[in-house]
Amino acid sequence: MAADLYSANVRDGRAYLSLILTPLQWIVDVPSRLAGEVSDVVVDRSLLLKENAKLKSEALLLERKVQQNSALWHENDRLRSLLVSSKRVDESVQLVELIGVNPDPFQHQVIINKGSENEVVLGQPILDAGGVMGQVTEMSHYTSRVMLITDARHALPVEINRNGFRTIALGKGQLDELELDHVPDTADIKANDLVITSGLGGRFPRGYPVAIVSEVIRDPGQQFARVRIKPTALLDKSRHLLLVTMPAEVEEIALPLKGEVLPSKEIQ
């Protein structure tokens, strides 16, 4: 039992044990997969047309944003080269699918359908369409386990998009809420501020949306302001997720040392 906590070799054994269970995980996932397929088959034409039109207009909107974005990107690169600072590198992403959820309600973990055979790396960030979901904490050969940002043991370095105020978002074990850690009473944070990853700690790339500030409680009797934030990712609904591969130079910092489970910063 203690060996599992302190030894890296046990992790391999664990990976093989989960390999035994991988077929079970696939079978358990079949009903929800089938349900999705059946609803694809029986959906009526008008609904499909409507959805198609909606997606087209959405794509148009997004394309417009991308056009602007690429111009800004190049401008940014030029400015950076003028400043002789290092170039920004784009991260590559891999599509993964969620195939299971940890049955223990105390732990917010999901299981995805890619593992060490698909070159998943420990600590890799996972996103969905809305924002950051979590990071890979355990791998088997064909599946891996992702700790969600709302898990009570998870901490994520973030910043406020509006003014760059840096802080840390702590999970509380509730699926719809996180909390910002040690925010001074005088900090410039308002409700509806967007919270993005700050890229500090080297594990998550910078600039992905994490949450929206839902409430700032400033109590003069308390040392720090309490800031409650609501994750933008649909943590309990998303099925199709993105696995982000960090650029090589960043990855070197992000890879855990041998024998170390996670950097002590991420464990509370």
Give the interface with other proteins as residue ranges (CB under 8 A): 1, 3-5, 10, 13-14, 17-18, 20-21, 24-25, 27-28, 31-32, 100-107, 109, 138, 145, 152-153, 173, 175, 236, 267
Q: What contacts 147, CB < 8 A, 6 or more positions away? A: 107, 108, 109, 134, 135, 136, 137, 153, 154
Minimum distance between the CB of residue 29 and other proteins, rounded to whole angstroms? 8
In degrees, rounded to 5, the angle at the alpha carbon of residue 25 between the alpha carbons of residues 22 and 28 is 155
Minimum distance between the CB of residue 265 and other proteins, rounded to whole angstroms? 15
For other proteins, the closer CB: 97 or 185 = 97
For other proteins, the closer CB: 171 or 205 = 171
Tokens found for residue 45? 């034409």
Alpha carbons within 13 angstroms on the beta-carbon side of residue 257 total 3
Query: CB burial class (10 A; 0-12, 13-18, 19+) of residue 19?
Result: middle
For other proteins, the closer CB: 129 or 152 = 152
Minimum distance between the CB of residue 168 and other proteins, rounded to whole angstroms? 18
Residue 216 and residue 227 in contact, taking contact as beta carbons nearer than 8 Å: yes
For other proteins, the closer CB: 13 or 207 = 13
Minimum distance between the CB of residue 13 and other proteins, rounded to whole angstroms? 8
